[in-house]
Structures are given as structure tokens and as C-alpha cells.
């Protein structure tokens, strides 16, 4: 199978790499230390069109599909995982609206969250609905007098939750129907009864401002129901399939970045009278890191190809996410090890990349959930 990039995709890769090196890398350590959302980086991404990837031009986007998202996110992840995650997770919401929204919703919300530079977020997870996504307890009750839904409940671990202006929220419109009673809503930050709660203090991805969302009699117009009433679980699952390719791209990118740094350092660092790249033990580390990273890339590209050509890709999205995430931990760990004591110091980016990489094994579905998805596809439920 040929995964050569088109001329446009090559240009996008070059632009993303240059932007990441010039704008994201210089502030990556500050973003990590300050625990502040890189809003300036995000605005610059919007100016360059990255926040409109996968959205048709008529709605303010720049077109393209999953492969374009993968190219941008992986280049960003080489330099700053937090910024890569911000783009990757932001794009879930416009993609939900493109795939499942109606014309009015597309016209109203897409230009705002693509070229408009407003951050978007997707909220499924709750304190008791993590891996068991069907256990959502946030309720949405219809008020026929006002033609609105009234939302009550709490979402947690929402990337950019303290900064986003537009959210897609999954809430239960009929708890007796379980997965078939969940519905997706577009919620604006300004809607009455909406607020964000605490911002989590995390091990890595420190600037992504992972926040709690609180709905207290939050009024949402019925016009903001996305897709069918009761269709929210399928919307969430299909959107997560795409989001998981985005996490695969994050894992692939951070591994590529860490590998590049390890190779460079191993040629510069001399011990026992020669560069440490001459040591066979180290060469074998590099060989394993390069081979697995190439495999991760191929899985990520293959899942993107399936998604972009309208073929089923749930299993392949889970496979690429599972493998790229485990490899991200493997490669950042060995790259740090190759840097020895320096790798453990905050003067070098490796310790940050190692902490940041870990989340790829947890968010948008844990590695264990992906094994459930893959085994169900291979063996049957």
C-alpha cells in the first residue's frame, strides 16, 4: 500500500513542522511549567488554518481529512505535546458537527471554531462514566414551554474545558434506554447554568487545562440537538474512533521527536573516548525505537486512509492508538535513558516528553478498552 503524501500534504507537513519549531517548541517548557493553556499558540494555529482541517471551505475550514489532521498533530507533537493535544482534541467538535450536525448548526458554529479561533471541546466522560461510557448521568429534560432542554450533571477530565467557547455534550434524555437514551448537544459557554469547575493538576500535558464542567439547570435550545434524539452514544463512539487516530498521531509524533533527539545526542555525547552511538547496546535501542515508530506510523496512516475513504475503521483506529501510545512511552523512556542524568533534568525536553507521552495510553479510551474493541472485532462480542 502506498502512503506517499500528495504535493499538498507535503506542503502541509513542511508548514506544520516549521510552525512547530518556530512557535511551539520555544514555549513548550513554559506551557508545561505554567500549567496555562497555550491560547496564543492556538490562535496562531487558527490563523494558519490548522483549526479548520477536515472542515469544508464553505464553513470556514480548509478541507482535508484524517490524514491532514495526523500530519499536523504529529508534527506538533514532536515539539510540544500539549499544543498537539489541543489541536487534536479541539478538532473532535467541528468534526462531530460536520458529520452529524444540520445545516443551521454548521453555518452557526463551524466558522466560529475554525477560522474564528474559538476553542471547542467534547464532553462525554463523567466521574462514574469513564471506560463505561454508557453510564453517563448528566440528564437533559425537555421543557416544551421554551423548546429547550435543561441539563444537570457534571463532566470531568475535559481538555480545554476552562477555555473552550463551544462544547459538544453527551447527556441522557431517557435513562431507561441506556446507550439508546443518550443525546448529543451543542452548548455554548455563555448558556445560563453552565460553568467550569476545578482544573486538574496533572503529571503531564500540563497546559491543556483539563477541567470539570458543571451543568445546573443549564438551558440549551432544542435546535442544538445534534443528530437524532437518542443517537448520542453512536455519535460519541464514531467520533471517538476518529479522535483515537488523533491520539495515535500524538503518540507517533512524540516518539519521532524523542527518537530524533536521542540520535542527535548519542552522536554528540562522548564516553570511554568515543560517541555513545558507537556502543552496540545503544544502537540496538535506536533500532528498536526506529522500527516500532515506523510501525506506529504505518498503523496511524492506514487507519486514516480507511477513515478518509469511507471504509470501516473502528478496529484499525483502536489498533493504531493502542500501539502508538505504548510505543510513545517505550521510545520516550529509552530516549530519556540514552540522555542519562541529563534526560532526567528539566533543562532537556525528554522528561517532559516522557510525562506527556503517558497520557496517550489513557485518554480517548485506555489501552485496555482498545483491547476490548479490537478483540470484539476479531473474535466477536
Residue nearest to ligand COS (CB): 365
Residue 53 near residue 76, CB atoms below 8 Å: no
Catalytic, 200? Answer: no
Q: Using the rule CB under 6 A, is 146 a contact of ligand COS?
A: no
Closer CB to ligand COS, 208 or 238, in the complex: 238
Among 233, 302, 330, 354, binds ligand COS (CB under 6 A): 233
Among 83, 125, 183, 304, binds ligand COS (CB under 6 A): 125
Among 29, 48, 134, 377, binds ligand COS (CB under 6 A): 134
Smallest gap from residue 118 Cβ to ligand COS (A): 19
Q: How many CB atoms lie under 10 A from the CB of residue 51?
A: 28
Report the C-alpha gap between 7 and 13 in whole angstroms: 10
Eight-class DSSP state of 228: S
Among 119, 124, 226, 303, binds ligand COS (CB under 6 A): 124
Task: Indicate which residue of 8, 148, 364, 368 is catalytic.
Answer: 364
Q: Using the rule CB under 6 A, is 154 a contact of ligand COS?
A: no
Q: List Cα–Cα distances, 124 to 11, 199, 253, 282, in angstroms.
A: 35, 17, 26, 43
Q: Using the rule CB under 6 A, is 360 a contact of ligand COS?
A: no
End-to-end Cα distance, the chain: 30
Smallest gap from residue 380 Cβ to ligand COS (A): 12
Report the C-alpha gap between 291 and 225 in whole angstroms: 45
Q: Which stretch binds ligand COS (CB under 6 A): 34-42, 213-221, 255-263, 361-369?
A: 361-369
Q: Using the rule CB under 6 A, is 238 a contact of ligand COS?
A: yes
Positions of E strands within the chain:
120-123, 139-143, 148-159, 166-172, 182-188, 194-199, 210-221, 225-226, 270-271, 274-275
Among 48, 237, 279, 377, binds ligand COS (CB under 6 A): 237
Among candidates 176, 174, 165, 89, which has minimal Cα distance to 124?
A: 89
Kindly list the catalytic residues. Answer: 364
Residues that bind ligand COS (CB under 6 A): 122, 124-125, 131-134, 179-180, 233-234, 237-238, 240-241, 314, 364-365, 369, 372-373
Amino acid at each position: 500500500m502506498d502512503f506517499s503524501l500528495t504535493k499538498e500534504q507535503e506542503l502541509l507537513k513542511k508548514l506544520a513542522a516549521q510552525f512547530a519549531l518556530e512557535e511551539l517548541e520555544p514555549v513548550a517548557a513554559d506551557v508545561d511549567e505554567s500549567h496555562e493553556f497555550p491560547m496564543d499558540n492556538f490562535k496562531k494555529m487558527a490563523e494558519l488554518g490548522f483549526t479548520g482541517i477536515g472542515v469544508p471551505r464553505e464553513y470556514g475550514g480548509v478541507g482535508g481529512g484524517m490524514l491532514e489532521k495526523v500530519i499536523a498533530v504529529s508534527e506538533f507533537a514532536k515539539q510540544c505535546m500539549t499544543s498537539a493535544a489541543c489541536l487534536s482534541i479541539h478538532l473532535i467538535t467541528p468534526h462531530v458537527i460536520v458529520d452529524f450536525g444540520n445545516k443551521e448548526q454548521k453555518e452557526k458554529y463551524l466558522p466560529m471554531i475554525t477560522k474564528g479561533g474559538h476553542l471547542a471541546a467534547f464532553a462525554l466522560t463523567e466521574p462514574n462514566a469513564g471506560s463505561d461510557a454508557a453510564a453517563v448521568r448528566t440528564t437533559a429534560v425537555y421543557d416544551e414551554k421554551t423548546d429547550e432542554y435543561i441539563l444537570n450533571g457534571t463532566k470531568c477530565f475535559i481538555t480545554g474545558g476552562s477555555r473552550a467557547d463551544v462544547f459538544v455534550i453527551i447527556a441522557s434524555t431517557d435513562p431507561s434506554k441506556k446507550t439508546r437514551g443518550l443525546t448529543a448537544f451543542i452548548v455554548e459557554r455563555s448558556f445560563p447554568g453552565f460553568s467550569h469547575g476545578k482544573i486538574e493538576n496533572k503529571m503531564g500535558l500540563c497546559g491543556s487545562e483539563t477541567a470539570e464542567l458543571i451543568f445546573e439547570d443549564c438551558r440549551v435550545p432544542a435546535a442544538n440537538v445534534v443528530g437524532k434524539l437518542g443517537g448520542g452514544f453512536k455519535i460519541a463512539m464514531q467520533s471517538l474512533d476518529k479522535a483515537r487516530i488523533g491520539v495515535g498521531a500524538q503518540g507517533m509524533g512524540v516518539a519521532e521527536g524523542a527518537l530524533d533527539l536521542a540520535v542527535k545526542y548519542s552522536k554528540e555525547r562522548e564516553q570511554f573516548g568515543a560517541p555513545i552511538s558507537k556502543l552496540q547496546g545503544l544502537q540496538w535501542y535506536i533500532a528498536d525505537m526506529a522500527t516500532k515508530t515506523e510501525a506506529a506510523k504505518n498503523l496511524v496512516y492506514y487507519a486514516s486512509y480507511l477513515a478518509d475513504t469511507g471504509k470501516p475503521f473502528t478496529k484499525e483506529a483502536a489498533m493504531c492508538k493502542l500501539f502508538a501510545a505504548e510505543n510513545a512511552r517505550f521510545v520516550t523512556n529509552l530516549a530519556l535513558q540514552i540522555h542519562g542524568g541529563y534526560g532526567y533534568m528539566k533543562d532537556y525536553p525528554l522528561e517532559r516528553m516522557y510525562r506527556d507521552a503517558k497520557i496517550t495510553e489513557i485518554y480517548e479510551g485506555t489501552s485496555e478498552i482498545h483491547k476490548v474493541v479490537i478483540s470484539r472485532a476479531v473474535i466477536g462480542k
